[in-house]
Structure 1
Amino acid sequence: MITLRSSTRRLGGARESFLLCSQCLHRTHPLLPVTSRFPSFSRFQSSIARQPAPSSLNKAYFSSNKGETSTVPQPGLFTSLSPRNSSHHPAREESSPSTSTTRSQPELPHRRRKRLKESAAQGHVAEPVIPPDASAQLSNFSSALPKTSLRRKLAAFLALTKPRLSFLILLSTTSAYGMYPISTLLTLDPSMAPLPTLSTSTLTFLYLTSGTFLSSCSANTLNMVLEPKYDALMSRTRNRPLVRGLVTRRAAVIFAIATAALGLGLLSLGTNPTVTGLSAANIALYAFVYTPMKRIHVINTWVGAVVGAIPPMMGWVAAAGQTATTGHDTWRDMLFSEDSIGGWLLAGILFAWQFPHFNALSHTIREEYKRAGYKMLCWTNPARNARVALRYSVLMFPLSIGLWWFGTVGHGFLVSSTVANGWLVKEAYRFWKHQGTSGTARGLFWASIWQLPILLVGGLVTKKGLWDGVWRNAFGPLPEDEDDDYVYYGEVSFGEAVGESPGPKSSAVS
């Protein structure tokens, strides 16, 4: 720290300052009054004391560290002339941290990620991998708006729906609907219902998506209604709208009832009673079985996996209802017939996917689950938590092969599913080997995030017969379709069966 030294110090210090004449002092410092040619030391000292320090003096200018300023007022211009101040006191010139102008800059996101990754690799701390909760983000957005704003209320109610989870449910439902193999072959049975047209399929699809989304909104809202005091104990959920008071409990209950009634009504109107029943059962299972069971037993994770497996079955049954024959469209036929195998395989994939995804996610906040009283494997039995994640990751292979084996998807699905499942199993093995440390929880979490869309979209792209239909529409019938105009059964042709005159080839016997 550089301090201002009196020019009289150069001439001998305070003890010899009285030897200077007033003219010399006035020449050096014109602000000093000239009272006498040879003033006494006492008069000189009193004159200095009465002289105020210049207000234009910038104390920070004399600091060697531009980021710090002294908290002790700088001495007067000739304070060193006083015997009491003749010695230098460095302690008075030290800066106080409380008034320092240096401010700690916020850590940049990429530097924070790098620091956490390095710390996790050294095993010092558990690396957080959970993205910000969508409900919490919407709650923050809602709270920043005026209380009378309509956008504030809409954002708060949208936060109740858990948008990311609802989108995942929609993806699994619509993918199963699109993968259902609707037959394009004619049949001799006159009682067979006509094949669905593009307009009817589109209408059913719209009813299915809107009804499923509203039903999911109802289930997620009821989940928040039943546990706001526990959500307040976890950093990931403490910003949800009910915890922050953005929505009242009564308004949330009304919203849940309204969305459930509207969603189930749309499903009943546009699909079939089996889909409606599955959706209603899923709302009850998620809100009134899974939610309270989280504080009772670790089996809640398996119950939650069943909740995630029902939406693809809903999409499969909705597509099956369009081609069901009269008298053969009961819930038993749609759920337990030979044609429902593909739906069960898709439901199995969603069931198995829950474990590597949730076990990796919960590992990063296991202490918060413990503090909130939730019975989760991540803290009750971490070793089993890792084993379960690996076990169900491996199960993805036979389930994916089963879709191809039973004719739901084509050969290309074997390639895409093998790559995606291999990536998931690799990260699950690392997660099990390192027990979630060294960034393995993060790796498994993001592998599960990408693996499921690859499977579902890959199944849609490689759907059995999809590209045959595209080829037929673009270039005409396939070579195997260019056969005789009639299909013969014994000695009677199809043309004769419907009353047409036999063609030139009617005498042929198959």
Structure 2
Amino acid sequence: MKLHTETTLSKWLDTETLAAYYELTKPGITFTVLASMLIGFLLGSGSNIDFILMAHAALGTWLIASGTAAHNQFLEWRLDGQMKRTQTRPLPSSKVTPKQSMAFSLVLIFAGSAYMIFMVNLLAGLISIATTVIYLGAYTPMKRVSAVNVFIGAIPGALPPVGGWAAAVGHLGHAGMWALFAIVFLWQVPHVMAIAWVCKDDYRNAGFRMLPRNDENGTKAVLLILGCLLLLLPATWALYAVELSGITYLIGGMLCAVAFLWYGIRFSLDRTKEKAKKLMFASFFYLPAVWAIIFIDQLIQ
């Protein structure tokens, strides 16, 4: 019995296994969620930042975001195995078993939810739970049903700054918070659609109903991408208009939005995988750049 326990423990503590569990949490996406939450917390706090509360909110957010990412991979591991870009993930490559990933993800989700409720506040906890439920319960299955999934998925994607705001002040009664939600929502639609266009063959093979499946010439994609990127301009201005940010943010944020729009226009004029890839990389740059500009703007105000 002792030998069996030691063998099991050594397997769990194996470096390669730990790396696989870490990969299950999708660190890049989880870091983006965490950064978005912290921006909401920062703007919601104003000049009265409670750094202890912020640390609690960061830990709770990391736990539940990591668990959500891991559970998404558990739900889709067979489909991931059919796509080139995801075949090496921990589950399709058999680094972790489905049962292990399910247990791991659920522990993180429940621990993160409880932590947010008891160590931050009830509203922040409920927003975190809603984010997970919408992502796993609506967006994940909808990807195999309808291209409308891009709008459903943009909701949980845009909720982290709302959760950060709620963590800081315990309410959602400020227009600036909804401006943050709008910025992330409007960013996410072209971001996801650019990825779907670049990976459309992979998505088609796995049975995902992303927009390119029924939009071979890209007309619908262009209308949605350009529509969201144009709306991103007033959403960017709104954060300045409600006096949550200064002129540094306004100039920097508008330049980022215009640059993002430019890549969307280039894709609309030449709907190739190459132009979609450039739009995808522009989307990777946009959100971290805007968050950095907001942070710098807050420092110099």
Task: Name the TM-score, length of structure 1 as normaliser.
Answer: 0.55
Conserved? CA contact 2:113–2:129, under 8 Å = yes
Q: Give the Cα separation in 1 of the matches to 2:45 and 2:110.
A: 31
Residue 320 (structure 1) aligned with residue 184 (structure 2): no
Matched, 1:226 2:75: yes
1:150 is aligned to 14
Q: Which of 27, 43, 48 does residue 179 from structure 1 map onto?
A: 43
Moved over 4 A (4+): 146-149
2:107 paired with 1:258 = yes
Which residue matches 2:295? Answer: 460
2:191 to 352, 357, 365: 357
User: Aligned ranges for residues 91-110 of structure 1 at < 5 Å?
Assistant: none
Structure 1 residue runs without a partner (length 5+): 1-145, 184-195, 322-333, 469-510
1:355 deviation in Å?
A: 1.6
Instruction: Tell me the distance in 2 between the aligned counterparts of 1:213 and 1:148.
Output: 21
Q: Secondary structure at the match of 2:85?
A: coil
Select 1:412's aligned residue among 239, 248, 253. Answer: 248
* 2:238 is the alignment partner of 1:384: no
Aligned match of 1:367: 201
Aligned mate of 1:427, from 263, 266, 287: 263
SS at match of 1:295: coil
User: Cα distance, 1:436 vs. partner?
Assistant: 2.9
Task: Count how many residue pairs are aligned between Structure 1 and Structure 2.
Answer: 290
Question: What amino acid sits opposite 1:158 in the alignment?
Answer: Y
Name the SS of the counterpart of 2:65 in structure 1: helix
Deviation readout 1:47-99 (Å, 9 max, x if unpaired): xxxxxxxxxxxxxxxxxxxxxxxxxxxxxxxxxxxxxxxxxxxxxxxxxxxxx
Check if 1:161 corresponds to 2:10: no
Structure 2 counterpart of 1:444, from 273, 279, 283? 279
Identity %: 28
After superposition, the C-alpha distances for 1:472-508 in whole angstroms (9 at most, x for unaligned) are xxxxxxxxxxxxxxxxxxxxxxxxxxxxxxxxxxxxx
Aligned counterparts of 1:369 and 1:230: Cα–Cα separation in 2: 9
Q: Is the 8 A contact 1:296 1:375 kept in 2?
A: yes
Instruction: Compute the displacement of 1:318 (Å).
Output: 1.1
Distance 1:445 1:245 in 2: 29
CA contact (8 A) 1:310 1:347 kept: yes
The answer as to 2:236 corresponding to 1:400 is: yes
Separation in 2, partners of 1:459, 1:227:
35
* Contact 2:12 2:18 (8 Å CA) reproduced: no
Task: Give 1:147 deviation, angstroms.
Answer: 6.3
Deviation per CA, 1:213-249, whole angstroms, max 9, x where unpaired?
Answer: 1101111111111121111110011111111211111
2:92 partner SS? helix
Structure 1 residue 426: Cα displacement: 0.5
State the 1:164 CA deviation: 0.9
CA distance in 1, matches of 2:254, 2:137: 37
Structure of greater Rg: 1
**Conservation of the 8 A alpha-carbon contact between 1:181 and 1:408:** no
Q: In the superposition, relative to structure 1, how do residues 414 and 246 fare at CA in structure 2: closer, same or farther (>3 Å)?
A: same
How far off is 1:148 after superposition? 7.5
Cα distance change, pair 181–202 in 1 and its aligned pair in 2 (3 A): closer
Q: Contact between 2:62 and 2:112, CA under 8 Å: does it hold in 1?
A: yes
Decide whether the 8 Å contact of 2:37 with 2:161 is kept in 1.
yes
On the 8 A contact 1:308/1:350 being kept in 2, the answer is yes
Q: CA deviation at 1:269?
A: 2.6
Which one has more relative contact order, counting CA pairs under 8 Å at least 6 apart?
2
Corresponding position: 1:271 with 2:96: no
Residues 1-43 of structure 1: CA deviation (Å, up to 9, x unaligned): xxxxxxxxxxxxxxxxxxxxxxxxxxxxxxxxxxxxxxxxxxx
Residue 290 of structure 1 contacts residue 303 of structure 1 at CA under 8 Å; is this kept in 2?
yes
Quote the residue 1:488 is aligned against. Answer: none
- What residue is the counterpart of 2:4 in the other structure? none
What's the offset of the Cα at 1:149?
5.9
CA–CA distance in structure 2, aligned partners of residues 168 and 354 of structure 1: 12
